[in-house]
Amino acid sequence: MKKTVVEKPKTVLCYIDFSKSSYYLVEYAYQLSRLIDAELYILHTVTDIKRAAGFYVPHINTDRLEEEVIKAAKDKMYGICNQVVGDRIDSSHRLVMRGNPIEVMNEVIAEKKIELLVLSHELSKGTLSGFRGDYAEKFMKTAAIPFLVVPTT
């Protein structure tokens, strides 16, 4: 039997959905990253509005709408991180990206060389609804890196 050495992750990605548990999850991921001396990234995804709008909403300027949605999400991300850990998570580590959460996570995992993913699990709703259950289960079935699911209420 081949023995392997388990090394501490050097980079951690925490996915939040802006629910009430996001504050707890950011704190948990921050404390974990400090404990193992790892670089921490916080990620939130927003819906790709251009895909969702389709041809039947021509009167809305989707570029401007997307800019406003992303700006609002970045402001919310800053608010959560600042309230929990002050300015200890800088803007280059607070990621707000457009697209499907699984696809975006996989992009960030590859780009930033993430070695551990931290997700939430809402106990009160059964299946991993805190992380939009269908996405969580899909990620877990195809996970390329270790992940930690943190129970929240």
The pLDDT value given to residue 84: 96
Band of residue 114 on the pLDDT scale cut at 50, 70, 90: very high
The pLDDT value given to residue 60: 61
Is residue 5 classed exposed, middle or buried when 0-12, 13-18 and 19+ CB atoms within 10 A define those classes? Answer: exposed
Contact 38, 148 (CB under 8 A): no
Residue 3 lies in a domain: no
Contact 123, 151 (CB under 8 A): yes
What is the Cα Rg of the chain in Å? 16
Tell me the pLDDT tens digit for each residue of 116-146.
999 887 666 544 444 444 456 667 777 889 8
The pLDDT value given to residue 129: 46
The pLDDT value given to residue 125: 54
Residue 125 lies in a domain: yes
Please give the tally of structural domains in the chain: 1
70 against 150, higher pLDDT: 70
Site of tokens 């969580």: 136
Tell me the pLDDT tens digit for each residue of 47-99.
876 665 555 555 567 778 888 999 999 999 999 999 999 999 999 999 999 98
Q: Which residues contact 27 (CB under 8 A, 6 or more apart)?
A: 84, 85
The pLDDT value given to residue 127: 47
Residue 137 lies in a domain: yes
Residue 83 lies in a domain: yes
Residue 4 lies in a domain: no
Range of the structural domain that residue 51 is part of:
11-152
Strand partners, 45: 97
Tell me the pLDDT tens digit for each residue of 33-43.
999 999 999 99
The DSSP letter of residue 55 is T
The pLDDT value given to residue 136: 60
The pLDDT value given to residue 130: 43
The CATH number linked to 123 is 3.40.50.620
